[in-house]
Structure 1
Amino acid sequence: MDLPSDIFQSRLCRLNRTLLSLLGQWPFQKERHRRIIFITVSFLGITQAITQVLALKTLRGDINATLECIPPLIIDGVCIVKLVNLWCNMEKIKMLLIRIQKDWQSWDIESEYEILYKFAETGRSITVGYAGGMYMFGCLFPVMAMIPKIVGKNVTSEYSTRPVGFPYHVEYFIDLNKYYYPVLIHNYIVTAIRLTTLVASDTCVAMLVQHCCALFSVVRYRLEHIRKSIEQDKKLALLEEDDKIYKNFTYCIRKHEDALQFARILETAYTKALFFEVGLIIGAMSMSALQATNEVLTPHVAIRHGGYIFAQLLHLYIACWLGHKMIDHSSSIYTSVYRGEWYESSPKSRRLLNVIMLRSISPCTLTVGKIMVLSLPSFSAVVRASASYFTVFRSVQ
């Protein structure tokens, strides 16, 4: 680690650091370790994806088997996009993490620390809840496939590419019955890598968005509670009354600019990846729904595909909800100006508020390739689009 990392060693961010480290994507890992882990994870994932593509080729002509192959391949695509994006934007993410560390080391008043802590605690709750939900729903698909093998039922598979217990169709061009357990272990290891990639990348975004919202909230507090802020800030104690307010407003401008810069870097680091992710998620949900309705709906099938679809919905919802939070917190700066005791300041100090108000007119956003803004309305729009594609596929079939 090449910088002090108290906050990242604490319970607030420890899980985020651990998840990214497991993929070799934690920016402060040693370069050699990071490369070894990344190459190993990539090799395992790519070899699994290749076997799934070969299975798709082997099963061509069988519509049911083809439908089973496509959703896992789409999720592979999402994971590849996330890993490549993390690797390509390593420096930007590192810059944001260093900024988080500095903010935790340089807060000026007790209220700022409380705001940072509150948002970091919320970020930790999001990380724990999202990780738990994704691992739970994501594991339903492979676990349900293994149940017949565990209970010892004499069940046979009609496909040589997916023996009983295998979560996906794979083609290794070997006797899968003879090498059953080595291939099965490979499948389940890659499934764990898939889930960890999704969770690590998305919770990293959650951590960064939460800190960005915390920066905006610090500015809002300083604007809405001018007197309290001045009383807590020892640096302003020896200044004249109007100078205290003026310095408080200049501090707000600097903090607001820092928050805007943080949001801009965050947006540029993830906008391209989100473009591919959202498109792939639409395809995955549509194909999963088509696959579920194409089979006889037994409890076993319902649980497998239901868990798969819910995991995709959770993945999409968290991204849209985080984008909505950025919009809300950045746009609230404008109204916060009016809630403070601005009328007690001099005209010179009031003019500084115009700068903050002008800069807060346009809210900060997370976008899908600069085409669509992530928000709760866009979540419903994507779900409707998935339902539309499902209807089209169903009618064509």
Structure 2
Amino acid sequence: MLKMDSPGDIFQSRLYRFNRVLLSLLGQWPFQKNRHRRIVFVTVSFLGITQAITQVLALVTLRGDLNATLECIPPLIVDCACIVKLVNLFCNMEKIKILLIHVQRDWQSWAIQSEFEILHKFAETGRSITIGYASGMYAFGCLFPVMAIIPKIIDENVVSNYSTRPVGFPYHVEYFVDLDKYYYPALIHNYLATAIRLTTIVASDTCVAILVQHCCALFSIVRYRLEHIRKSVEQDKELALLEEDNKIYKNFTYCIRKHEDALQFASLMETVYTKAFFIEVGLIIGAMSLSALEATSGSLTPQLAIRHGGYIMAQLLHLFIACWLGQEVIDHSSRVYTSIYRGEWYESSPKSRKLLNMMMLRSISPCTLTVGKIMVLSLPSFSAVVRASASYFTVFRSVQ
């Protein structure tokens, strides 16, 4: 069992340690010291933005070459998505801090052993998602730079077809300096920016994952209390001294409070991420369409196929996780309604049953995470976005 002596202890545990480290590397962990956070954030932002600027300059330089231009756009779209994620974290830091404090409070105030087990189960799931997602994104994301540097390692004299992308560079860049002279400083800058880009995506998305899992845990606690009324009453020491009917009544009032907590938690999450999701989904559609266009071009080599294939897989993983997390919120919030029926409500007094009516009415409409209030994130929306990307790819292919 976890023992917590201070509010921050839960985030020092193995359950959330990886998330804390990832956000701290970007200067976006709400509990960091302000000075340290600002230094890290400015450094990361400077490296990332200067990398994006060099890619924009390369795009301008190559504007007469359609194939090279198409190569420039997908990485630049990813840069835009990273900027959106970083800005969203920065602008909503106080709200994210409120959500994390909510998590701390719930870990300190569980009433029965079953609640602790539910919190632990969902936190473990969040940790597994974090590790799995990070592994996948870093693996797919590293294909671009790794496949770019291999020719340089094998043959130092190999040359590139483009001055904006010397051998070893994963993307087209334009520094307006002699890259033969400043090759290694520019290469290091590129690879550092790539690492920052991947860390931004992983840190932001896994932060959503642990918050969604905690939200689902709150709904599951309510469902357990409703479905196992007798067990809950027996485990809760505060209810042990009350009269029989008062025990059930107090259990139901506890469920209502917890349900309201879960609803507020889900609502605040939606507020934090809905605008960012709107921009990100649009960028993902464009990135996947253009990457697929490059991957099916006649001049594609096996090396480039692997790079673009990894890029597309990373985008699909990114999109799938967001939609799956949205589906989790829908499923767990809507199941409260059926849990009320499954419990031993018939043994309670009319006064207690009236409390359940309130919860049933609120549970009819499930909580959701949306894309700018336009589209609900869910598994059906994942297939819809993939189909949209395929449609745009077909259009681009016909125009090319």
TM range (shorter): over 0.9
Cα deviation, residue 34, structure 1: 0.8
Cα deviation, residue 295, structure 1: 4.2
Cα deviation, residue 153, structure 1: 5.8
1:145 aligned partner: 148
Q: Distance in 2 between matches of 1:203 and 1:196?
A: 10
Cα deviation, residue 336, structure 1: 0.2
Q: Is the 8 A contact 1:271 1:367 kept in 2?
A: yes
Q: Is the 8 A contact 1:81 1:277 kept in 2?
A: yes
Cα deviation per residue 1:206-237 (whole Å; 9 max; x = unaligned)?
00000000000000000000000000000000
Cα deviation per residue 1:276-297 (whole Å; 9 max; x = unaligned)?
0000010000111111112434
Cα deviation, residue 4, structure 1: 2.6
The correspondence for 1:203, drawn from 196, 206, 209, is 206
1:35 aligned partner: 38
1:337 aligned partner: 340
Q: Is the 8 A contact 2:294 2:300 kept in 1?
A: no
Cα deviation, residue 155, structure 1: 2.1
Q: Distance in 1 between matches of 2:296 and 2:178?
A: 31
Q: Does 1:46 align with 2:49?
A: yes
Q: Does 1:121 align with 2:104?
A: no
Cα deviation, residue 299, structure 1: 2.3
2:3 aligned partner: none
Q: Distance in 2 between matches of 1:39 and 1:223?
A: 49
Q: Does 1:324 align with 2:330?
A: no
Q: Distance in 1 between matches of 2:213 and 2:358?
A: 24
Cα deviation per residue 1:62-89 (whole Å; 9 max; x = unaligned)?
0110011000100000000000000000
Q: Distance in 2 between matches of 1:181 and 1:224?
A: 63
Q: Distance in 2 between matches of 1:305 and 1:393?
A: 17
1:352 aligned partner: 355
Cα deviation, residue 107, structure 1: 0.2
Alignment partner of 2:296: what SS? helix
Q: Distance in 1 between matches of 2:340 and 2:16?
A: 32
Show the 5 A alignment for 1:1-397.
Answer: 4-152=7-155, 154-397=157-400
Cα deviation, residue 362, structure 1: 0.6
Cα deviation per residue 1:82-129 (whole Å; 9 max; x = unaligned)?
000000000100000000000000100000000000000000000000
Cα deviation, residue 298, structure 1: 3.1
Alignment partner of 2:168: what SS? coil
Cα deviation, residue 177, structure 1: 1.4
Q: Distance in 2 between matches of 1:329 and 1:162?
A: 48
Cα deviation per residue 1:295-317 (whole Å; 9 max; x = unaligned)?
43432122110000000000000
Q: Distance in 2 between matches of 1:122 and 1:294?
A: 40
Q: Distance in 1 between matches of 2:27 and 2:273?
A: 18
Cα deviation per residue 1:171-225 (whole Å; 9 max; x = unaligned)?
0001111111000000000000000000000000000000000000000000000
TM norm structure 1: 0.99
Q: Distance in 2 between matches of 1:293 and 1:20?
A: 37
Supply the AA of the counterpart residue of 2:77. Answer: I
Cα deviation per residue 1:224-255 (whole Å; 9 max; x = unaligned)?
00000000000000111000000000000000
Q: Distance in 2 between matches of 1:63 and 1:294?
A: 12
Q: Distance in 1 between matches of 2:172 and 2:302?
A: 21
Structure 1 pair 9–295 and aligned structure 2 pair: CA distance change class (3 A) = farther
Gaps of 5+ in 2: 1-5
Identity %: 83
Supply the AA of the counterpart residue of 2:250. Answer: K
Q: Distance in 1 between matches of 2:193 and 2:300?
A: 28
Supply the AA of the counterpart residue of 2:295. Answer: A
Q: Distance in 1 between matches of 2:378 and 2:307?
A: 29
Q: Is the 8 A contact 1:133 1:311 kept in 2?
A: yes
Alignment partner of 2:367: what SS? coil
Q: Distance in 1 between matches of 2:171 and 2:373?
A: 35
Q: Is the 8 A contact 2:7 2:105 kept in 1?
A: no
CA RMSD in angstroms comes to 0.8
Q: Is the 8 A contact 1:64 1:294 kept in 2?
A: no
Q: Distance in 2 between matches of 1:138 and 1:355?
A: 48
Structure 1 pair 304–74 and aligned structure 2 pair: CA distance change class (3 A) = same
